[in-house]
Structure 1
Amino acid sequence: MTRSEFDDIRAHIAADEGDSDELLLIARTLLDDLEQARLREATLQARYLELLTAARATMASDAVGDPNPLTFLRHALGRRGQMPSADEDVMRILSDARTAAALIAHLTEVPPPRPRPSARMSRCVGPSRRLAR
C-alpha cells in the first residue's frame, strides 16, 4: 500500500466515527500495525540492498586486483556495528554462516513426490479397518 492509500483509509475511518467506536479503534490499530510492518519491510530491503551492493563491489574490487578489496564490505558492516570483534565472534559467525548455507541448500531441494495410496492401502487404513480372518 502506498502512503496515500493509508491516508485515504484513515480519512474513511475518521468519517465513520459514531456508534461503532470500538470497531473503528481496532481498524485504526490494525492500520497502524500494517503501516509499521511496511516501514520495517522497506528498511530491511534498503539494508539488504546496501549489503548486496557492498558484497558485489568487494568482489569486483577483488577481480581487478585491488590491494584492499574488503573496503566496501568493512564500511557497510562497520556502519551497522556488525564487524566481528573477538575470536569467539569470528568462530560463531563462521558456524552461523555454515549453518545458513546448509539450510538454504536444503530449502532449494525439491521434495520427492509422495506416493499415491493404492486401492489395497485405502482398505487397510482408517477407523473401519477390518482384519482378514
Structure 2
Amino acid sequence: MELDTVTAFTPVASLAGGILIGLSAVMVMAIFGRIAGISGITRGALGAITGGPDARWRIGFVVGLLAAPFAYALWAGDLPAQTVPGNLPAMAAAGLIVGTGTAIGSGCTSGHGVCGLARLSPRSLAAVATFMGTAIVTVFVLRHLI
C-alpha cells in the first residue's frame, strides 16, 4: 500500500467503534475498578504467566482485541482493509517504540485519551497533546518530506 493513498471516510463504522471503545472503558471501570488502558491490561496479561492479579479478565480482554477483526470478518464476509503499510520489520520496530513510550509515559492512548481525558486528568491532557503532536509531525514527514 502506498502512503499517499487516501483513507476511506467511514462515519458509521467509526461511530460504532467509538461507542464500543467507550462502552468497554465504562465496563472495565464498573466491573473491575480499573482504567481500560490497553498497555496496562496487556502488561498485566503478560504477567499472568506468573499468576499476576486480575489475570483472567486481562487475558480475556487481550484475546477479545485479537479476535475482534476475525469475528468481524466472519460476520461481514471479509476482513477490513489494512490502512498501514505491510512492512513487518518496520511495524515491529514501531511497536517496540510505542511500547517503550507507553512505559515511559505511564499509559497509552486508550488509558490517557479515553479514560484520562474523561476524568479531566491534567497529566492525560499533556500525554494526549504529545501523542497527537507526534502523530501530526510523523504524518507530515512521511507524506510530504519522504
Q: Structure 1-normalised TM-score?
A: 0.25
> Comparing both structures, which one devotes a greater share of its residues to helix?
2
Higher relative contact order (CA 8 A, sep 6+): 2
Flag the structure with larger Rg.
1
Q: Structure 2-normalised TM-score?
A: 0.23
